[in-house]
Structure formats: structure tokens, C-alpha cells
Chain A
Amino acid sequence: MFFRHEKIETNVILMVVLTLITVSIGGLVQIIPLFTIETTIERVDGVRPYSPLEQLGRNIYIREGCYLCHSQQIRPFKDEVERYGPYSLAAESMYDRPFQWGSKRTGPDLARVGGRYSNDWHAAHLVSPRAVVPESIMPAYPFLAQRKLEFDDIARHLEALRAVGSPYSDEMIAKARVDLEAQVTPDADPTDLLKRYPRAVVGKFNTASPAITELDALIAYLQVLGTMVRFGDIPPDRLRQ
């Protein structure tokens, strides 16, 4: 017989080594190209790391398990593009750790929810979904409007994200607290904030409490989703894969 498998079956070390080789071929073929293929992530302008307030809002989004019902991935199908807008690009989740792709849609996809509703709508809807959408089956999150946002460690939070690859500059980290407060204080001057985080939505999102609450952070996050890339500016052939 050309292939004497008795030899492998009776030699544990040889079997382990050959198993390793076989499995790693499969793994390497899948993984290595991802590091070298230029088209894995399209180059588009506008994607930036989350502002400190948005980032904390994102943490609350994940803490509350919003992802269990809401995906953030518009797939390249006609019905989805018609309903939600341009399909999601890999680049748009570049700084999402972890990304929120999926097709589990007990609630609608949120990849492009930013700017679609007013801040007041989000506040009313999160506190009591059925007050604005009678048919809604979403749970209510009234406590978000009361709980103060904890952001004493925001600078270290951004440092940690930088360590895993989000391009926060020294300035962004030094000004993290200032930026966070500027985004949610209506009378503050948002010029610096907007220079560092273009298209961030500024405002007192939760008007029911004068303090900076978790609801403020969550709405700031929802309002930026899907708004960083301007699709009108991208030539279509750059999106062909």
C-alpha cells in the first residue's frame, strides 16, 4: 500500500505532528490573505474612532444587550438597501470592538439609524418604547435616564482602545473628559470636539435630567451610527468587490 496509515495510527507523536500540519494549512489559507489583501477593508473617508461620549454609549449598548435584537449590518440585498440605506462597509466597523454585524433582527437594523430620528424621539422611545411606537415589543429602559454616566476613567478607556488599534491621538486622550462634557453641554463650544470628532452630534440628549446620564451617552452613540461615511462621495466602482 502506498500510504501506510498503520504507521500513523501506532505513533502518537507522528499523528499529533501530522494533525497539526493538516489543520494549520486550512487555517493559514483562510487567515493569511486577510492580512495582505488590500480589498478586505475598502478605503473610505470619514470613518473615525468614537468620541468619548459615543464610546461610553456604545458600552451601554453592549451592556444592555441591544445586539441581541438589533444588528448593525445592512447586507447588499435590494430589500435591505431600500429600507435601511447603503449597505454596510467593513471600514465602517473598523473601530468597533467587537463589531455588531449580524442578521438577528427582532428589532430593526441600526447600522444607519444616526440622524434618522430626533434626540427627543430617542429619549422618549428608550424610556418608554410604546409611548411613540404602540406596536413595539422593545423593553423599556427608563433607568438610563436616571443613572449618572460614570466617566472618571474615560481617558484610560481610550488608551486601552488605542492599545488594540484605535487611532486615538495623545491630544484626544488628554482632552477626553473635556470632549465628553462638551458633547452633552448645550452652551459649550463644540469647535474643538468637532475638529477631533467630525460629525459628532452635540446636544443635551436627555432633557429630563440636568446631569450627564447614561441615556445621553447612548443617544449620542445611536445618532452617529452610519453617518461617518458620505456615500454620495464614493465612486461606485470603488465599492465593487
Chain B
Amino acid sequence: MPTKIEKDAVSGQDTTGHEWDGVKELNTPLPTWWVYTFYACIVFALVYCVLYPSWPSLRGHTEGLLGHTNRADLARSLEAQTKSRAAFVDRIRTTSLADIRKDTGLFNFALAGGRSAFQTNCIQCHGAGGAGSVGYPNLADDKWLWGGEIGQIHTTIQHGIRNANEKSRQGLMPRFGADELLTAAQVAAVTDHVLSLSGRAKPTPEGAKVFQEQCLACHQADGKGNQELGAPNLTDGIWLYGGDRDSLYRTIFYARNGSMPAWGERLDEATLKMLALYVHSLGGGR
């Protein structure tokens, strides 16, 4: 194949010099800016290969002169963050909950940190504002299942409720109907008795008798409950699992016994304290 570059008479451009069965083609070179960008990319790639991890080998890969790794970057940025917070976090760790509340600057930091931890870990059950939902208690009111003092809140968060953690809060309500401790008629009667405690049904002697025998130990004679055992107050009109007759009947028949993870197994001490302070500040802390 002859390679003879000619000048095309019509366009004034060079030909490529190739000829196929008498057909020739014009040589239209790439724009200069494009060619130099391309060369620059090649140079960039070579420089990158030298500075950063790039070429794999059979036993590893080239490390690059900068020694860059994502994980080391992360460790550095976490370290910098820890350092920047350290002044506050260390003080929170070593200061008692009561004393933190007296120190405005520290308390504000703790509330902000608690709020952020709450949004990551707590809102899925207790809601963005701590208002809770069916089965998950409202943290913004002043009624508490396990106590609303700051230390009690801290313990609940740290060890959780009815989980595998040894120190978790463990009050259990029996399944009165399902385990045949009571007949269906007795459960119905005591359901009415519980409703009567908040004035929504007439008390019956039968219901009062069952309540006396079965419920009083935890919920107390006046139905006001016992925070040591997580036995809710039955007179305040707040119902974790619904306050209509049907829901109450099911609660007594099958029991509920909701649980909460032990956050002490996941979060550090300072975060637990900040969370306790934040929850306490939601409105109902005692």
C-alpha cells in the first residue's frame, strides 16, 4: 500500500497517504488543545502512580510516596475530632450528672451531643421529639415507667430493659390468660377493674378480687404502679399499648413486656451521660 501524502486540491488539506482502490482520505488532525490535554492526562496518571497506591503486584501493591490510605485518613480525622471535643468530653466523663447541669457551658455541650446521639440511636422508636408511639414510651412527658430522675434515666439507657444484659431492667408481667393463670372471664373482669381506675368503667367485686390477688404486688393497691419494677401507673390515662377495652384485655391476656437495648454496650460513657441529660431535658425530667 503506497503511503504518499498529497495535498487535496479542493480543501487544501493533506491526505493520510492511504489509498484503497483509488479512494483517498483527508487527514484532519485532532485539535491541538485536545492533544495536549491528552498528554497532560498521561503525565498526571504517571505522577499519580508514583504518589499514590496504584499498581497491584502478587504480594500487595505499590504504596506510593505519600503513603495514602483511606483508613489512615479516617483514623486521623477521628483523632482530630476527638481532640477538638476532648476538653468537653473528658469533663463530662469525670463530672457527675448533677454537676454537669450546674455548669452552663458544659450542660449546653451535653445537650447538643445528647440530641445528636438521640437522633442517631433513639428516634426510630421514641420519635424525633421523644413523643414515642404504641409500645414505645413518650419521653417528653413527666410520667416514667422506670423513674424520671436523671440517674434513673441514665441507668435505663446504659443497661436497657428486658434484654440479655445482666443489669438490664427486668420486671416481667405474667401472661395471665395465655398461661392460664386466669380464665377469660376473670381477665375480662379485671380489665373492667383497670378501666375503672381511670373512671371509665364501673368497678365490680369480681374484678376487684382478681386485682387484689394478682395485680396488687406490682401495680399497688391504688393502681399507681411501681417504678422499681417498671409496673406502670394504671390511673393516669396513659396507655403504652392502647387504652381501649380490647387492647387492655390483650395486654392482660398475653402481657407485653417491651424491651430496649443496653446502650452501654454500644456507646461510650460520655455519650450515655449526654443522652441522659438530653432525655431528662425533654420536658419530663424530675
Contact = CB atoms under 8 A, between A and B. Distances in A.
Interface of A: 1, 6, 29-30, 32-34, 36-39, 75-78, 81-83, 85, 87, 115-121, 124-125, 131-135, 236, 239-241
Contacts of B125: 117-118, 121, 132
A55 B136 CA distance: 30
A48 B121 CA distance: 27
A120 B71 contact: no
**Residue from A82, A116, A132 whose CB has the most chain B CB atoms within 10 Å:** A132
A76 B70 contact: yes
Given A78-B81, A132-B124, A117 B261 contact: yes
B282 interface: no
B259 A134 contact: no
Given A116-B121, A120-B259, 13 more contacts: A34-B56, A36-B59, A37-B61, A78-B81, A82-B120, A115-B261, A117-B124, A121-B125, A125-B124, A132-B125, A132-B135, A134-B127, A236-B75
Contacts of B96: none
A76 B72 CA distance: 9
Query: In this complex, which of A32, A120, A135 has the most chain B Cβ atoms within 10 angstroms of its Cβ?
Result: A120
Interface of B: 1, 3, 55-61, 69-75, 77-78, 81, 120-121, 123-125, 127-128, 133-136, 163, 258-261, 266
A109 to B, nearest CB: 12
Nearest to A125: B124
A157 B258 CA distance: 35
B59 A37 contact: yes
Nearest to B163: A118
A87 B59 contact: no
Contacts of B3: 1
A118 B70 CA distance: 33
Nearest to A124: B135
A27 B203 CA distance: 81
B130 to A, nearest CB: 13
Nearest to B121: A116
Contact of A240 (B55, B72, B120, B134): B72
A1 B17 CA distance: 13
Nearest to A4: B1
Contacts of A78: 74, 77-78, 81
Nearest to A118: B259
Given A29-B56, A120-B258, A240-B69, A81 B124 contact: no
Nearest to A112: B266
18 contacts: A6-B1, A33-B56, A36-B58, A37-B56, A37-B59, A37-B60, A78-B77, A117-B125, A121-B125, A124-B135, A125-B124, A131-B134, A132-B133, A134-B127, A236-B75, A240-B71, A241-B69, A241-B71
Contacts of B56: 29-30, 33-34, 37
B74 A76 contact: yes
A39 B81 contact: no
Contacts of B121: 116
Contacts of B74: 76-78, 81, 87
Given A76-B71, A78-B74, A33 B61 contact: yes
Nearest to A80: B74
Given A76-B73, A81-B78, A133 B259 contact: no
Contacts of B1: 6
Contacts of B260: 118
Contacts of A82: 120
B69 A133 contact: no
A119 B123 CA distance: 16
B4 to A, nearest CB: 13
A124 B261 CA distance: 16
Nearest to B78: A78
B66 to A, nearest CB: 15
A39 B60 contact: yes
Contacts of B258: 118, 120
A33 B60 CA distance: 7
Given A78-B74, A241-B71, A33 B124 contact: no
A55 to B, nearest CB: 23
A137 to B, nearest CB: 14
Given A118-B259, A131-B134, A132-B125, A33 B57 contact: yes
Contacts of B69: 240-241
B71 A33 contact: no
B59 A38 contact: yes
A134 B77 CA distance: 34
A222 to B, nearest CB: 13
Contacts of A34: 56
